[in-house]
Amino acid sequence: MSQKATNLRINAERLWETIMETAQIGATAKGGVRRLTLSDLDRRVRDWFVDACKKAGCSITVDDMGNIFARRAGKNPNLAPIAVGSHLDTQPSGGKFDGIIGVLSGLELLRTLNEAGIETEAPIEVIDWTNEEGSRFAPAMLASGVFAGKFSREYAYARADRDGKSFGEELERIGYRGEAPCGAHPLSAFFELHIEQGPILEAEGKVIGVVTDVQGMRWYEVTVEGEDCHAGTTPMPMRKDALLASARMITAINAVGRRHAPHAVTTVGLIEAQPNSRNVIPGKTFFTIDIRHPHDAVLATMEDEITRELEAIAAACGVSLALERVWNSPPVPFAKECVDAVREAARDLGLPSREIISGAGHDAAYVAAVAPTAMIFVPCERGISHNELEKAEPEHVAAGADVLLRAVLATDARLAEGVRA
Ligand SMILES: [Zn+2]
C-alpha cells in the first residue's frame, strides 16, 4: 500500500450524518426505522443511495433481483471489482444501524478515495442486497442467496407477503427490477461491515470483531406421544406423560449445548402440549430444537447426542418419539486472505479487536460461496438489535469503516501485485 493509502481515514462526521439522514426514511417515533423490503420507503432509500453514488462518480447496475451495484472504476478493467456492502431494508421495528452501516460506509469509502485522489487497480463496488431481513418476504438473505445460486430466481419472485403480493410484482412496482441477470457478476472479494448484534465486543471492550466464520445451524421438530389420562385416578407409575418426558428432553438438549461450550448453543423455543387441560395427563407434545455451532463435525456430534438422549428418555417414560431434522444450514468459514486483511487493518490502526464467529446469518454468508469474503463487526449497545433502540457509537462505526477502507486497499494492493507478477 502507498504511504497516502496507509494514512487515509474516512470522514467520521460525514459518515454519521449520512446514517442519520437515511434514518429519516421510515423513521419511527421511538428512534428506529421501519423500511420493509420493496416498499415505497425501500424505493426512496434506494433512489437516495443511487443518487449519492452517481454524485460520487459511480456507474450503477441493478440486477433482476434488485441488487444495486455502484461501481467506481479502477485502473484495470479486467479485474473483477472488490465489493463492500450490506442491506438497506429493515425489520418492521428495526434500528438505524443493522445492514445500513455496511452500505453507507461503502459510500463513505468512495467519497474518501475521491477526495484523496486515489485510483485503485481493481474497480470498487458498493452493493445494496435486496431483502436481507426476510420479514416481509421469507426467507431472509433472498437476493444474495440467488446471487450465490442457493435459490432460483423463479422461487424468489414467487415469495409472497401476508397480503399476497409477490416479490416479483413488488420489485417491478418500485422500479428496481434491473436488466442484469443476478449472479453473473464476478467479485475479487467481498467485505461486509455490520453491527455485532450480540454482547461480546462490548463486554470485552473491543472495537473490532474479526469475523472468521458464520456458524452452522440445524433445526428439528419433535413429536412425543404418550397417553391422555385422568389426572386424579391414574397412579404415578402408570402414566405415559408426554409433557414430563418433553421437560426432561429439554433439559438434556440444554446440557448438550453446555457440554460443547463455548461455541455451541441449543434452544427449545416452541412447545405445544395436548390436550392442554389442567386435569388431564398430557398425551402428546410437539416442540422445536435449534442447535448452532461453527463446525459441522460438532453439529453432527450434538445431533447424535440429542438423538440418543431423547430416545433414552422416551423409553424411560414409556412414550414414543418422532425426531425429524427440518433444516440444515452448514457453517461458513470466511476466506483466509480476507480475514487476514481485516485482522491486519485493525492491528495497523491500533484498534482493540478479537476474532468472533457470527451467530446470525448475513448476506456475506451466501456471497462467500462465490467470492472470497469476510466480515467486520462493531459493537452495539447491550447487543440489542432488530429493535428500534439499537444503538452504535459513532467512533465505533467510524473505526469499522476505517478497517473496511484499509482491508479494501490492502486487497487492491495484493491484486495489483498479482497482475504485475
Ligand atoms: Zn443485517
pLDDT above 90 (res 180): yes
pLDDT at 408 over 80: yes
Say what the pLDDT of residue 77 is: 93
Q: How far is the CA of 412 from the centre of ligand 1 (A)?
A: 26
Q: Tens of pLDDT along 42-86? A: 999 999 999 999 999 999 999 999 999 999 999 999 999 999 999
The model's confidence at residue 419, banded by pLDDT at 50, 70 and 90, is: confident
- Taking the model in full, what pTM does it have? 0.89
Give the residue-averaged pLDDT of 28-35: 96
Q: Which residues contact 400 (CB under 8 A, 6 or more apart)?
A: 101, 105, 193, 207, 208, 376, 377, 378
Q: Is 324 exposed, middle or buried (0-12, 13-18, 19+ CB in 10 A)?
A: exposed
Confidence of residue 223 (pLDDT cuts 50, 70, 90): very high
Q: At what angle do helices 394-420 and 12-22 cross, to 10 degrees?
A: 110
- Is residue 123 predicted with pLDDT exceeding 80? yes
Q: Which residue has the higher pLDDT, 410 or 386?
A: 410
CA of 233 to the centre of ligand 1 (A): 54
Dist. CA 226 → ligand 1 center (Å): 42
86-108, pLDDT tens digit by residue?
A: 999 999 999 999 999 999 999 99
pLDDT band at residue 243, thresholds of 50, 70 and 90? very high
Q: Which amino acid is at 117?
A: G
Give 386 Cα–ligand 1 centroid separation in angstroms.
Answer: 9
Mean pLDDT, residues 24-42 taken together: 97
Cell representation of residue 215 = 456458524
Ligand 1 centre distance from Cα of residue 336 (Å): 22
| Strands 353-358, 271-274: pairing kind | unpaired
- Quote the mean pLDDT of the chain: 96
Ligand 1 centre from 87 Cα, in Å?
Answer: 7
For ligand 1, the distance from its centroid to the CA atom of residue 286, given in whole angstroms, is 31
User: Would you state the cell numbers that stand for residue 93, as one nine-digit string?
Assistant: 421495528
Ligand 1 centroid–CA 12 distance in Å is: 21
Buried b (16+ CB within 10 A) or exposed e, 370-390: bbbbbbbbbbbeebbbbbbeb
Q: How far is the centre of ligand 1, averaged over its atoms, from the C-alpha of 240 (Å)?
A: 45
CB atoms within 10 A of CB 65: 28
Question: Where residue 303 falls among pLDDT bands split at 50, 70, 90?
Answer: very high
pLDDT score recorded for residue 279: 97
Query: What is the DSSP-derived secondary structure letter of residue 188?
Result: S
- Main-chain phi, psi angles of 258, to 5 degrees: -70, -35
Cβ neighbours of 420 (radius 10 Å): 7
CA of 94 from ligand 1 middle (Å) equals: 10
pLDDT at residue number 222 = 98
Backbone angles phi, psi at 218, to 5 degrees: -130, 140
Ligand 1 center–CA 379 separation, angstroms: 13
The mean pLDDT of 203-226, rounded to a whole number, is 96
Which residues 6+ apart lie within 8 Å of 59 measured at CB? 70, 71, 73
- CA distances, 64 to each of 123, 175, 227 (Å): 22, 11, 54
The pLDDT, as a whole number, for residue 420 is 79
The predicted-structure confidence for 149-171, as pLDDT tens digits, reads as follows 999 999 999 999 999 999 999 99
Whether the pLDDT of residue 421 is over 80: the answer is no
Task: Report how far ligand 1's centroid is from the alpha carbon of 169 (Å).
Answer: 24
Q: Is the pLDDT of residue 327 over 90?
A: no
Question: Is 393 in contact with 374 (CB distance < 8 Å)?
Answer: no
Fill in the DSSP letter of residue 207.
Answer: S
Residue 88 CA to ligand 1 centre (angstroms): 9
Amino acid at 295: H
Query: How remote is the CA of residue 290 from the centroid of ligand 1, in Å?
Result: 20
Q: Report pLDDT for 174.
A: 98
Nearest to 144 by CA among 15, 16, 332: 332
Instruction: Look at residue 190 in the predicted model and tell me its pLDDT.
Output: 98
Percent of the chain with pLDDT over 90: 95
Question: Cα of 136 to ligand 1 centre, how many Å?
Answer: 14
The DSSP 8-state label assigned to residue 297 in this structure reads H
The predicted model gives 385-391 an average pLDDT of 93
DSSP 3-state assignment of 387? Answer: coil
Q: What is the pLDDT of residues 342-361, one digit of tens each?
A: 999 999 999 999 999 998 88
Per DSSP (E only), the strands in 51-202 are: 59-62, 68-72, 82-86, 124-128, 189-195
- The alpha carbon of 102 and the centre of ligand 1 are apart by a number of angstroms equal to 9
* C-alpha 351 to ligand 1 mean position (Å): 23
Cα distance from N-terminal residue to C-terminal residue, the chain: 16
Cβ 316 vs Cβ 378: under 8 Å: no
Residue 210 pLDDT > 80, yes or no? yes
Please enumerate in sequence order all residues whose Cβ is within 8 A of that of 123, keeping only pairs 6 or more positions apart, or say none: 71, 72, 73, 74, 77, 79, 81, 82
Cα(418) to centroid of ligand 1, in Å? 33
| CA-based nearest residue to 38, from 132, 152, 104 | 132
Helices then strands (H, E): number in the chain?
13, 16
Distance in Å, CA 270 to ligand 1 centroid? 24
- For ligand 1, the distance from its centroid to the CA atom of residue 171, given in whole angstroms, is 20
CA of 318 relative to ligand 1 center, distance in Å:
45
Bridge pairing between strands 124-128 and 82-86: parallel
Report the distance separating Cα 399 and Cα 416, nearest Å: 26
Q: Is residue 83 within 8 Å of 147, Cβ to Cβ?
A: no
- Determine the Cα–Cα distance for residues 349 and 368; give it in Å rounded to an integer: 26
Cα–ligand 1 centroid distance for 362 (angstroms)? 6
- Residue 108 C-alpha to ligand 1 middle, in angstroms? 18
Q: Give 154 Cα–ligand 1 centroid separation in angstroms.
A: 24
Centre of ligand 1 to C-alpha 91, Å, is 9
- Rounded to the nearest angstrom, the distance between the alpha carbon of 194 and the centre of ligand 1 is 7
Torsion angles phi and psi, residue 42, rounded to 5: -60, -45
Interval between CA 191 and ligand 1 midpoint (Å):
13
